[in-house]
Amino acid sequence: MEKEPGRRERRKLEARERLLAAARQVLAESGEANLRIGDLTEMADIGFGTFYSHFESKEALVEAVLVEVMASAAGAIGSRALEFPDPAETASFAYRRFIRFAADEPELAAVLTKLDAADDLFETSLLPYARKTLERGISSGRFDIVDIDLALLSVSAAAFAAIKGVLAGRIGPDTGAAGAEMMLRAFGLQHADAREIAHRPMPALEGRLARA
């Protein structure tokens, strides 16, 4: 009686993980329009009818995938960014890397930006890293920021809008450096300094974000 529920629960979690992985793959490769429950249950090797014991709807599955993708992208970018000794470079790298996400993973990014409250999800995912970076820059005197909460929500919203702008073709995928330059100025850096840092070569991230 003790062991059975544990094993059943584990099996169920494994099946759920396979469904998530299948959906992530289809979303990244073909987009939301091509996501069919029958394909996913087949890929995940579970019965069609079992789907609804894992997710309430296809939309709920898509949302779960995106929460995972965002959290893992924020984690990968954020923890890599925090390795830079200069918080200005941390902020610049993170901003540019998120903009490049739109170019690297257009299908996933498109689904993400169409999600209800996607901007909030984006902000929540990157907030811990962003706040740490701003606090580090303020306490070292590198940044001169008037209101940290306002700066955090402004930069998060601006970065998210830039991702949407790249997807919509309103700005080019290479505007990341221009955006980082603008952000660093807003954080108090002198123009020449902001420009130089924002245009540094970007170190690679290990692995692809969507697979992280």
Options 57-65, 67-75, 175-183, 203-211: segment touching a copy of itself (CB under 8 A): 175-183
Q: By 3-state DSSP, what share of the chain in percent is helix, strand and coil, each rounded to 5?
A: 75, 0, 25
Residue with tokens 């309103």: 170
Distance, in Å, from the CA atom of 128 to the CA atom of 74, rounded to the nearest integer, reads 9
130 binds a copy of itself (CB under 8 A): no
| 50 binding a copy of itself? (CB under 8 A) | no
Q: Counting contacts by CB under 8 A, is residue 175 touching a copy of itself?
A: yes
Q: Which of 161, 193, 200, 212 binds a copy of itself (CB under 8 A)?
A: 161
- ∠ at Cα 16 (14, 19), nearest 5°? 115
Q: Does 105 bind a copy of itself (CB under 8 A)?
A: no
87 near a copy of itself, judged by CB under 8 A: no
Query: What distance in Å separates the CA atoms of residue 181 and residue 99, rounded to the nearest whole number?
Result: 13
* Burial letters 96-120, b for 16+ CB under 10 A, else e: bbbbbbbeebebbbbbbbebeebbe
Q: Which of 43, 185, 196, 200 binds a copy of itself (CB under 8 A)?
A: 185
Stretch that binds a copy of itself, among 5-13, 33-41, 52-60, 184-192 (CB under 8 A): 184-192
Instruction: Give dist(CA 106, CA 29) in Å, integer.
Output: 9
Which of 1, 147, 201, 204 binds a copy of itself (CB under 8 A)? It is 147
Q: Is 183 in the site for a copy of itself (CB under 8 A)?
A: yes
* Count of C-beta atoms within a 10 Å radius of residue 30: 12
Q: Which of 171, 197, 205, 209 binds a copy of itself (CB under 8 A)?
A: 171
- Interaction site with a copy of itself (CB under 8 A): 119, 144-147, 149-151, 153-158, 160-162, 164-165, 170-171, 175, 178-179, 181-183, 185-186, 188, 191
